[in-house]
Amino acid sequence: MISANLSATFYLISGVLFILALRGLSSPETSRQGNFYGIIGMVIAVTVTFLSVGNFSSGFFYVIIFLLVGGSIGAFIAFKIPMTAMPELVAGFHSLVGLAAVFVAISAFINPEAFNLGSPGNIKLASLIEMSIGAAVGAITFSGSIIAFLKLQGIMSGAPITFKGQHPLNALILVSIIVLIYLLCSSQSQEYFWVLLAVSFLIGFLLIIPIGGADMPVVISLLNSYSGIAASATGFVLMNNGLIISGALVGASGLILTNIMCKGMNRSLANVIFGAVGLDEQTSNDGGEQISFKSSTTDEAAMILDAADKVIIVPGYGLAVAQAQHAAREVADQLEAMGKTVLYAIHPVAGRMPGHMNVLLAEANVPYDKLKDLDDINPEFENCDVAIVLGANDVVNPAARHETSSPIYGMPILDVDKSRTVIVNKRTMNPGFAGIQNELFGFENTVMVFGDAKEMLTNLFKDLKEL
Protein backbone atom coordinates (compact mmCIF):
# COMPACT_ATOMS: atom_id res chain seq x y z
CA MET A 1 0.00 0.00 0.00
CA ILE A 2 1.31 3.46 -0.89
CA SER A 3 0.86 6.60 1.18
CA ALA A 4 -1.90 9.12 0.58
CA ASN A 5 0.63 11.80 -0.41
CA LEU A 6 2.34 9.52 -2.93
CA SER A 7 -0.98 8.42 -4.45
CA ALA A 8 -2.07 12.06 -4.74
CA THR A 9 1.19 12.84 -6.54
CA PHE A 10 0.69 10.02 -9.03
CA TYR A 11 -2.95 11.04 -9.59
CA LEU A 12 -1.71 14.57 -10.32
CA ILE A 13 0.76 13.16 -12.84
CA SER A 14 -2.00 11.14 -14.51
CA GLY A 15 -4.17 14.27 -14.59
CA VAL A 16 -1.40 16.20 -16.36
CA LEU A 17 -1.06 13.34 -18.86
CA PHE A 18 -4.83 13.45 -19.49
CA ILE A 19 -4.58 17.18 -20.21
CA LEU A 20 -1.68 16.53 -22.60
CA ALA A 21 -3.81 13.81 -24.22
CA LEU A 22 -6.66 16.25 -24.86
CA ARG A 23 -4.19 18.76 -26.25
CA GLY A 24 -2.72 16.12 -28.56
CA LEU A 25 -6.12 14.93 -29.76
CA SER A 26 -7.01 18.48 -30.84
CA SER A 27 -4.96 18.02 -34.02
CA PRO A 28 -4.52 15.05 -36.42
CA GLU A 29 -0.78 15.70 -36.43
CA THR A 30 -0.46 15.08 -32.69
CA SER A 31 -3.35 12.66 -32.15
CA ARG A 32 -1.13 9.54 -31.86
CA GLN A 33 1.01 11.27 -29.25
CA GLY A 34 -2.13 12.39 -27.41
CA ASN A 35 -3.44 8.82 -27.36
CA PHE A 36 -0.13 7.65 -25.92
CA TYR A 37 -0.29 10.21 -23.12
CA GLY A 38 -3.84 9.15 -22.33
CA ILE A 39 -2.88 5.46 -22.15
CA ILE A 40 0.05 6.13 -19.83
CA GLY A 41 -2.10 8.37 -17.63
CA MET A 42 -4.80 5.71 -17.34
CA VAL A 43 -2.27 2.95 -16.55
CA ILE A 44 -0.85 5.11 -13.74
CA ALA A 45 -4.31 5.96 -12.37
CA VAL A 46 -5.51 2.33 -12.34
CA THR A 47 -2.27 1.05 -10.81
CA VAL A 48 -2.29 3.68 -8.05
CA THR A 49 -5.93 2.91 -7.28
CA PHE A 50 -5.10 -0.75 -6.68
CA LEU A 51 -2.01 0.05 -4.62
CA SER A 52 -3.92 2.58 -2.52
CA VAL A 53 -6.47 0.08 -1.28
CA GLY A 54 -4.03 -2.14 0.54
CA ASN A 55 -6.45 -4.98 1.25
CA PHE A 56 -6.20 -7.49 -1.56
CA SER A 57 -8.87 -9.82 -0.29
CA SER A 58 -10.73 -12.41 -2.32
CA GLY A 59 -12.95 -9.64 -3.72
CA PHE A 60 -10.06 -8.24 -5.67
CA PHE A 61 -9.59 -11.57 -7.40
CA TYR A 62 -12.99 -11.10 -8.99
CA VAL A 63 -12.20 -7.48 -9.84
CA ILE A 64 -9.09 -8.59 -11.70
CA ILE A 65 -11.05 -11.28 -13.52
CA PHE A 66 -13.66 -8.77 -14.60
CA LEU A 67 -10.93 -6.35 -15.70
CA LEU A 68 -9.39 -9.04 -17.86
CA VAL A 69 -12.76 -10.00 -19.33
CA GLY A 70 -13.75 -6.38 -19.98
CA GLY A 71 -10.31 -5.53 -21.34
CA SER A 72 -10.40 -8.50 -23.70
CA ILE A 73 -13.84 -7.50 -24.99
CA GLY A 74 -12.64 -3.92 -25.44
CA ALA A 75 -9.53 -5.05 -27.33
CA PHE A 76 -11.62 -7.28 -29.58
CA ILE A 77 -14.01 -4.43 -30.36
CA ALA A 78 -11.10 -2.05 -31.03
CA PHE A 79 -9.61 -4.39 -33.62
CA LYS A 80 -12.89 -5.38 -35.28
CA ILE A 81 -14.98 -2.19 -35.27
CA PRO A 82 -15.02 -0.36 -38.63
CA MET A 83 -14.60 3.40 -38.69
CA THR A 84 -18.16 3.73 -39.98
CA ALA A 85 -19.47 2.27 -36.74
CA MET A 86 -17.38 4.52 -34.48
CA PRO A 87 -20.29 6.84 -33.56
CA GLU A 88 -22.40 3.89 -32.43
CA LEU A 89 -19.43 2.56 -30.47
CA VAL A 90 -18.92 5.89 -28.71
CA ALA A 91 -22.61 6.03 -27.80
CA GLY A 92 -22.40 2.47 -26.48
CA PHE A 93 -19.34 3.28 -24.36
CA HIS A 94 -21.06 6.36 -22.95
CA SER A 95 -23.96 4.17 -21.84
CA LEU A 96 -21.56 1.86 -19.98
CA VAL A 97 -19.93 4.80 -18.18
CA GLY A 98 -23.35 6.01 -17.07
CA LEU A 99 -24.38 2.53 -15.92
CA ALA A 100 -21.13 2.15 -13.98
CA ALA A 101 -21.86 5.42 -12.15
CA VAL A 102 -25.35 4.12 -11.30
CA PHE A 103 -23.97 0.84 -9.93
CA VAL A 104 -21.42 2.64 -7.77
CA ALA A 105 -24.13 4.94 -6.39
CA ILE A 106 -26.36 1.94 -5.60
CA SER A 107 -23.51 0.12 -3.85
CA ALA A 108 -22.55 3.20 -1.84
CA PHE A 109 -26.15 3.87 -0.80
CA ILE A 110 -26.90 0.29 0.25
CA ASN A 111 -23.56 -0.37 1.95
CA PRO A 112 -22.04 3.01 2.90
CA GLU A 113 -19.73 1.41 5.51
CA ALA A 114 -17.69 -0.19 2.72
CA PHE A 115 -17.00 3.27 1.33
CA ASN A 116 -16.41 4.98 4.70
CA LEU A 117 -19.46 7.15 4.10
CA GLY A 118 -21.31 6.37 7.35
CA SER A 119 -24.09 3.85 7.93
CA PRO A 120 -27.48 3.17 6.29
CA GLY A 121 -29.78 6.04 7.19
CA ASN A 122 -26.84 8.07 8.46
CA ILE A 123 -24.78 8.79 5.35
CA LYS A 124 -22.66 11.93 5.22
CA LEU A 125 -24.63 14.74 3.59
CA ALA A 126 -21.87 15.66 1.14
CA SER A 127 -21.47 12.04 0.09
CA LEU A 128 -25.23 11.65 -0.31
CA ILE A 129 -25.37 14.69 -2.61
CA GLU A 130 -22.46 13.32 -4.64
CA MET A 131 -23.95 9.86 -5.09
CA SER A 132 -27.37 11.38 -5.92
CA ILE A 133 -25.87 13.51 -8.67
CA GLY A 134 -23.77 10.60 -9.92
CA ALA A 135 -26.79 8.29 -9.98
CA ALA A 136 -29.06 10.80 -11.73
CA VAL A 137 -26.55 11.92 -14.37
CA GLY A 138 -25.36 8.34 -14.87
CA ALA A 139 -28.93 7.11 -15.45
CA ILE A 140 -29.61 9.96 -17.90
CA THR A 141 -26.35 9.16 -19.72
CA PHE A 142 -27.19 5.46 -19.93
CA SER A 143 -30.72 5.75 -21.28
CA GLY A 144 -29.90 8.70 -23.55
CA SER A 145 -26.91 6.87 -25.00
CA ILE A 146 -29.04 3.80 -25.67
CA ILE A 147 -31.44 5.90 -27.74
CA ALA A 148 -28.51 7.54 -29.57
CA PHE A 149 -27.05 4.09 -30.30
CA LEU A 150 -30.36 2.77 -31.63
CA LYS A 151 -30.80 5.80 -33.91
CA LEU A 152 -27.23 5.67 -35.22
CA GLN A 153 -27.42 1.91 -35.78
CA GLY A 154 -30.66 2.29 -37.73
CA ILE A 155 -32.58 0.05 -35.32
CA MET A 156 -34.66 3.08 -34.40
CA SER A 157 -35.76 5.78 -36.84
CA GLY A 158 -33.48 8.82 -36.96
CA ALA A 159 -36.51 11.07 -37.29
CA PRO A 160 -37.46 13.14 -34.23
CA ILE A 161 -40.13 11.60 -32.01
CA THR A 162 -42.33 14.33 -30.65
CA PHE A 163 -45.68 14.54 -28.90
CA LYS A 164 -47.89 17.28 -27.49
CA GLY A 165 -46.71 18.66 -24.18
CA GLN A 166 -43.31 17.00 -24.53
CA HIS A 167 -41.17 19.93 -23.41
CA PRO A 168 -43.33 20.88 -20.38
CA LEU A 169 -43.19 17.21 -19.36
CA ASN A 170 -39.38 17.20 -19.67
CA ALA A 171 -39.18 20.37 -17.59
CA LEU A 172 -41.47 18.88 -14.93
CA ILE A 173 -39.36 15.71 -14.70
CA LEU A 174 -36.12 17.68 -14.44
CA VAL A 175 -37.60 19.75 -11.60
CA SER A 176 -38.79 16.55 -9.93
CA ILE A 177 -35.22 15.18 -10.03
CA ILE A 178 -34.00 18.22 -8.09
CA VAL A 179 -36.85 17.79 -5.59
CA LEU A 180 -36.13 14.07 -5.21
CA ILE A 181 -32.44 14.76 -4.53
CA TYR A 182 -33.47 17.22 -1.79
CA LEU A 183 -35.93 14.73 -0.27
CA LEU A 184 -33.37 11.94 -0.45
CA CYS A 185 -30.73 14.01 1.30
CA SER A 186 -33.25 15.04 3.94
CA SER A 187 -34.73 11.63 4.70
CA GLN A 188 -32.20 9.14 3.29
CA SER A 189 -35.19 7.03 2.29
CA GLN A 190 -34.58 4.11 -0.09
CA GLU A 191 -37.91 4.82 -1.78
CA TYR A 192 -36.75 8.27 -2.85
CA PHE A 193 -33.46 6.81 -4.10
CA TRP A 194 -35.12 4.22 -6.35
CA VAL A 195 -37.68 6.74 -7.62
CA LEU A 196 -34.80 9.13 -8.42
CA LEU A 197 -33.13 6.43 -10.51
CA ALA A 198 -36.35 5.53 -12.34
CA VAL A 199 -37.17 9.15 -13.15
CA SER A 200 -33.59 9.80 -14.32
CA PHE A 201 -33.68 6.80 -16.65
CA LEU A 202 -36.98 8.08 -18.04
CA ILE A 203 -35.79 11.63 -18.72
CA GLY A 204 -32.74 10.25 -20.53
CA PHE A 205 -35.04 8.63 -23.07
CA LEU A 206 -37.32 11.64 -23.35
CA LEU A 207 -34.46 14.11 -23.88
CA ILE A 208 -32.94 12.23 -26.82
CA ILE A 209 -35.97 10.91 -28.76
CA PRO A 210 -36.99 14.37 -30.09
CA ILE A 211 -33.50 15.00 -31.47
CA GLY A 212 -33.24 14.25 -35.18
CA GLY A 213 -30.46 12.52 -37.04
CA ALA A 214 -29.00 15.77 -38.36
CA ASP A 215 -28.19 16.80 -34.78
CA MET A 216 -26.84 13.45 -33.61
CA PRO A 217 -23.16 14.57 -33.68
CA VAL A 218 -24.09 17.24 -31.13
CA VAL A 219 -25.87 14.65 -29.00
CA ILE A 220 -22.79 12.43 -28.96
CA SER A 221 -20.68 15.34 -27.71
CA LEU A 222 -23.27 16.19 -25.06
CA LEU A 223 -23.50 12.60 -23.83
CA ASN A 224 -19.72 12.57 -23.63
CA SER A 225 -19.96 15.53 -21.27
CA TYR A 226 -22.65 13.79 -19.19
CA SER A 227 -20.48 10.68 -18.85
CA GLY A 228 -17.63 12.83 -17.53
CA ILE A 229 -19.87 14.53 -14.97
CA ALA A 230 -21.16 11.13 -13.81
CA ALA A 231 -17.60 9.81 -13.55
CA SER A 232 -16.43 12.86 -11.59
CA ALA A 233 -19.35 12.59 -9.14
CA THR A 234 -18.52 8.90 -8.70
CA GLY A 235 -14.93 9.90 -7.99
CA PHE A 236 -16.10 12.06 -5.09
CA VAL A 237 -18.12 9.13 -3.72
CA LEU A 238 -15.12 6.83 -3.95
CA MET A 239 -12.73 9.58 -2.82
CA ASN A 240 -10.60 8.86 -5.87
CA ASN A 241 -8.71 11.91 -7.13
CA GLY A 242 -7.84 10.29 -10.45
CA LEU A 243 -11.49 9.66 -11.28
CA ILE A 244 -12.45 13.17 -10.17
CA ILE A 245 -9.80 14.74 -12.41
CA SER A 246 -10.45 12.58 -15.47
CA GLY A 247 -14.22 12.93 -15.14
CA ALA A 248 -13.97 16.69 -14.81
CA LEU A 249 -11.74 16.88 -17.89
CA VAL A 250 -14.13 14.74 -19.94
CA GLY A 251 -17.15 16.71 -18.73
CA ALA A 252 -15.61 20.12 -19.44
CA SER A 253 -14.08 19.19 -22.80
CA GLY A 254 -17.32 17.49 -23.88
CA LEU A 255 -19.34 20.58 -23.02
CA ILE A 256 -16.88 22.85 -24.86
CA LEU A 257 -17.03 20.58 -27.92
CA THR A 258 -20.84 20.52 -27.74
CA ASN A 259 -20.91 24.30 -27.70
CA ILE A 260 -18.56 24.43 -30.71
CA MET A 261 -20.74 21.91 -32.54
CA CYS A 262 -23.87 23.91 -31.76
CA LYS A 263 -22.30 27.03 -33.23
CA GLY A 264 -21.23 25.01 -36.29
CA MET A 265 -24.82 23.84 -36.82
CA ASN A 266 -26.58 27.03 -35.72
CA ARG A 267 -28.17 25.24 -32.81
CA SER A 268 -28.90 26.44 -29.30
CA LEU A 269 -26.97 24.63 -26.58
CA ALA A 270 -29.94 24.99 -24.25
CA ASN A 271 -32.21 23.37 -26.83
CA VAL A 272 -29.91 20.39 -27.17
CA ILE A 273 -29.52 19.96 -23.40
CA PHE A 274 -33.26 20.03 -22.81
CA GLY A 275 -34.17 17.91 -25.82
CA ALA A 276 -35.84 20.75 -27.69
CA VAL A 277 -34.05 20.19 -30.98
CA GLY A 278 -36.05 18.26 -33.45
CA LEU A 279 -38.34 18.39 -36.38
CA ASP A 280 -42.04 18.54 -35.85
CA GLU A 281 -43.92 16.18 -38.10
CA GLN A 282 -45.69 18.92 -39.94
CA THR A 283 -42.43 20.63 -40.95
CA SER A 284 -40.84 17.71 -42.69
CA ASN A 285 -40.46 18.21 -46.42
CA ASP A 286 -39.01 14.87 -47.41
CA GLY A 287 -42.05 14.16 -49.47
CA GLY A 288 -41.58 17.11 -51.80
CA GLU A 289 -41.34 17.15 -55.55
CA GLN A 290 -39.05 14.68 -57.25
CA ILE A 291 -35.72 16.26 -58.16
CA SER A 292 -34.70 16.18 -61.81
CA PHE A 293 -31.01 15.41 -62.09
CA LYS A 294 -28.31 14.69 -64.67
CA SER A 295 -26.56 11.33 -64.45
CA SER A 296 -22.99 10.80 -65.67
CA THR A 297 -20.21 8.20 -65.79
CA THR A 298 -16.66 8.12 -64.45
CA ASP A 299 -15.11 8.60 -67.89
CA GLU A 300 -17.21 11.74 -68.41
CA ALA A 301 -16.27 12.91 -64.92
CA ALA A 302 -12.61 12.33 -65.79
CA MET A 303 -12.91 14.59 -68.82
CA ILE A 304 -14.51 17.32 -66.69
CA LEU A 305 -11.65 17.05 -64.21
CA ASP A 306 -9.07 17.09 -67.00
CA ALA A 307 -10.22 20.58 -67.94
CA ALA A 308 -10.13 21.84 -64.34
CA ASP A 309 -7.36 23.70 -62.54
CA LYS A 310 -8.71 23.63 -58.99
CA VAL A 311 -10.56 20.68 -57.43
CA ILE A 312 -12.10 20.43 -53.96
CA ILE A 313 -12.99 17.01 -52.57
CA VAL A 314 -15.88 16.92 -50.07
CA PRO A 315 -15.94 13.65 -48.07
CA GLY A 316 -19.10 12.47 -46.33
CA TYR A 317 -20.61 9.45 -44.69
CA GLY A 318 -20.86 7.60 -48.02
CA LEU A 319 -17.07 7.66 -48.26
CA ALA A 320 -16.83 6.24 -44.74
CA VAL A 321 -19.31 3.45 -45.47
CA ALA A 322 -17.41 2.40 -48.59
CA GLN A 323 -14.02 2.75 -46.85
CA ALA A 324 -12.99 4.81 -49.86
CA GLN A 325 -10.49 7.15 -48.20
CA HIS A 326 -7.50 5.45 -49.84
CA ALA A 327 -9.17 5.55 -53.26
CA ALA A 328 -9.90 9.26 -52.74
CA ARG A 329 -6.22 9.84 -51.96
CA GLU A 330 -5.21 8.02 -55.16
CA VAL A 331 -7.52 10.21 -57.25
CA ALA A 332 -6.19 13.34 -55.56
CA ASP A 333 -2.58 12.28 -56.17
CA GLN A 334 -3.35 11.63 -59.84
CA LEU A 335 -5.02 15.03 -60.21
CA GLU A 336 -2.00 16.72 -58.64
CA ALA A 337 0.28 14.79 -61.00
CA MET A 338 -1.79 16.31 -63.83
CA GLY A 339 -1.05 19.79 -62.46
CA LYS A 340 -4.31 20.38 -60.58
CA THR A 341 -4.66 22.03 -57.18
CA VAL A 342 -6.53 19.69 -54.84
CA LEU A 343 -8.01 20.53 -51.43
CA TYR A 344 -10.35 18.71 -49.02
CA ALA A 345 -13.39 20.44 -47.51
CA ILE A 346 -14.16 19.19 -44.00
CA HIS A 347 -17.52 20.02 -42.45
CA PRO A 348 -17.46 19.81 -38.61
CA VAL A 349 -20.38 17.35 -38.55
CA ALA A 350 -19.68 15.35 -41.71
CA GLY A 351 -20.17 11.68 -40.94
CA ARG A 352 -21.72 10.74 -37.62
CA MET A 353 -19.41 12.32 -35.08
CA PRO A 354 -16.94 15.20 -34.71
CA GLY A 355 -13.67 14.61 -36.53
CA HIS A 356 -14.99 11.56 -38.41
CA MET A 357 -13.62 12.68 -41.79
CA ASN A 358 -10.33 13.91 -40.36
CA VAL A 359 -9.64 10.47 -38.89
CA LEU A 360 -10.51 8.65 -42.11
CA LEU A 361 -8.33 10.87 -44.30
CA ALA A 362 -5.47 10.75 -41.82
CA GLU A 363 -5.67 6.96 -42.09
CA ALA A 364 -5.09 7.39 -45.85
CA ASN A 365 -2.10 9.69 -45.16
CA VAL A 366 -3.72 12.74 -46.71
CA PRO A 367 -1.47 15.74 -45.87
CA TYR A 368 -2.92 17.73 -43.00
CA ASP A 369 -2.38 21.05 -44.75
CA LYS A 370 -4.83 19.98 -47.46
CA LEU A 371 -7.67 19.47 -44.96
CA LYS A 372 -9.59 22.73 -44.75
CA ASP A 373 -12.31 23.53 -42.22
CA LEU A 374 -15.64 25.02 -43.28
CA ASP A 375 -14.71 28.66 -42.61
CA ASP A 376 -11.42 28.34 -44.50
CA ILE A 377 -12.70 26.41 -47.50
CA ASN A 378 -16.01 28.15 -48.24
CA PRO A 379 -14.41 31.23 -49.86
CA GLU A 380 -12.48 28.84 -52.13
CA PHE A 381 -15.56 27.38 -53.82
CA GLU A 382 -16.24 30.49 -55.92
CA ASN A 383 -12.89 29.94 -57.62
CA CYS A 384 -13.24 26.18 -57.75
CA ASP A 385 -13.59 24.48 -61.14
CA VAL A 386 -14.88 21.14 -59.83
CA ALA A 387 -16.17 20.07 -56.42
CA ILE A 388 -16.34 16.29 -55.90
CA VAL A 389 -18.94 15.38 -53.27
CA LEU A 390 -18.41 11.85 -51.93
CA GLY A 391 -21.42 10.65 -50.01
CA ALA A 392 -22.12 13.96 -48.26
CA ASN A 393 -25.73 15.10 -48.22
CA ASP A 394 -27.06 17.37 -45.48
CA VAL A 395 -23.81 19.32 -45.10
CA VAL A 396 -23.94 20.47 -48.76
CA ASN A 397 -27.69 21.10 -49.03
CA PRO A 398 -28.41 24.73 -50.06
CA ALA A 399 -31.85 24.43 -48.42
CA ALA A 400 -30.09 25.21 -45.14
CA ARG A 401 -29.76 28.82 -46.31
CA HIS A 402 -33.36 29.59 -47.25
CA GLU A 403 -35.83 26.77 -46.46
CA THR A 404 -37.22 27.78 -43.07
CA SER A 405 -39.24 24.57 -42.71
CA SER A 406 -36.16 22.40 -43.18
CA PRO A 407 -34.67 20.63 -40.12
CA ILE A 408 -31.24 21.85 -41.24
CA TYR A 409 -32.27 25.48 -41.75
CA GLY A 410 -29.60 27.82 -40.44
CA MET A 411 -26.94 25.13 -40.32
CA PRO A 412 -23.68 26.33 -41.90
CA ILE A 413 -22.99 24.27 -45.01
CA LEU A 414 -20.17 23.81 -47.49
CA ASP A 415 -20.87 26.12 -50.44
CA VAL A 416 -20.19 23.49 -53.09
CA ASP A 417 -23.03 24.83 -55.25
CA LYS A 418 -20.92 27.92 -55.94
CA SER A 419 -18.35 25.79 -57.81
CA ARG A 420 -18.41 25.87 -61.62
CA THR A 421 -19.19 22.15 -61.69
CA VAL A 422 -20.26 19.76 -58.94
CA ILE A 423 -19.77 16.01 -59.29
CA VAL A 424 -21.85 14.15 -56.70
CA ASN A 425 -21.30 10.49 -55.90
CA LYS A 426 -24.11 8.63 -54.14
CA ARG A 427 -25.42 5.10 -54.12
CA THR A 428 -29.00 6.22 -54.63
CA MET A 429 -31.16 9.32 -54.46
CA ASN A 430 -32.24 8.44 -50.94
CA PRO A 431 -32.21 11.41 -48.53
CA GLY A 432 -29.47 11.93 -45.95
CA PHE A 433 -29.67 11.38 -42.22
CA ALA A 434 -31.89 14.42 -41.77
CA GLY A 435 -34.48 12.72 -43.98
CA ILE A 436 -34.83 15.49 -46.60
CA GLN A 437 -34.07 15.86 -50.29
CA ASN A 438 -30.98 17.77 -51.38
CA GLU A 439 -31.86 20.44 -53.92
CA LEU A 440 -28.21 20.61 -54.95
CA PHE A 441 -28.68 17.39 -56.95
CA GLY A 442 -31.04 19.17 -59.33
CA PHE A 443 -28.87 22.22 -59.96
CA GLU A 444 -27.74 22.99 -63.49
CA ASN A 445 -24.05 22.73 -62.57
CA THR A 446 -24.43 19.36 -60.82
CA VAL A 447 -23.91 15.90 -62.32
CA MET A 448 -24.59 12.66 -60.46
CA VAL A 449 -22.31 9.62 -60.62
CA PHE A 450 -24.07 6.77 -58.86
CA GLY A 451 -22.43 3.79 -57.22
CA ASP A 452 -20.27 2.69 -54.33
CA ALA A 453 -17.76 5.45 -53.52
CA LYS A 454 -14.73 3.14 -53.52
CA GLU A 455 -15.69 1.51 -56.81
CA MET A 456 -16.50 4.85 -58.40
CA LEU A 457 -13.20 6.42 -57.32
CA THR A 458 -11.23 3.37 -58.47
CA ASN A 459 -12.80 3.62 -61.94
CA LEU A 460 -12.28 7.39 -61.97
CA PHE A 461 -8.59 6.88 -61.16
CA LYS A 462 -8.22 4.48 -64.10
CA ASP A 463 -10.04 6.88 -66.43
CA LEU A 464 -7.80 9.77 -65.36
CA LYS A 465 -4.66 7.75 -65.99
CA GLU A 466 -5.86 6.91 -69.51
CA LEU A 467 -6.31 10.56 -70.49
Q: What is the DSSP string of 239-283?
A: T-HHHHHHHHHHHHHHHHHHHHHHHHTT--HHHHHTT-----GGG
Q: What is the DSSP letter of 54?
A: -
pTM of this structure: 0.77
**What's the average model confidence in pLDDT over 244-259?**
89
**Sign of the CA dihedral with 205 first, then 209, 210, and 215 last:** positive
**What's the average model confidence in pLDDT over 337-362?**
85
pLDDT at 162: 80
Residue 262 has pLDDT above 70, yes or no: yes
Residue 213 has pLDDT above 70, yes or no: no
CATH superfamily of the domain spanning 298-466: TPP-binding domain (3.40.50.1220)
Q: Please, what is the average pLDDT of the chain?
A: 86
**What's the average model confidence in pLDDT over 15-39?**
87
pLDDT at 214: 61
Question: Which residues have a catalytic role annotated?
Answer: 394
SS3 410: coil
- Whether the Cβ atoms of residue 353 and residue 86 lie closer than 8 Å to each other: yes
Residues whose CB falls within 8 Å of the CB of residue 324, separated by 6 or more in sequence, listed in order: 318, 390, 452, 453, 454, 456, 457
**What's the average model confidence in pLDDT over 258-276?**
71
Residue 100 has pLDDT above 80, yes or no: yes
Q: How far lies 257's CA from each of 217, 249, 264, 351, in Å?
A: 10, 12, 10, 16
pLDDT at 54: 60
Q: Which of 85-99, 225-239, 276-290, 357-371 has the highest mean pLDDT?
A: 225-239
Domain boundaries, the chain: 81-281, 298-466
Higher pLDDT, 144 or 265: 144
pLDDT at 285: 44
In the chain, the N- to C-terminal Cα span, in Å, equals 72
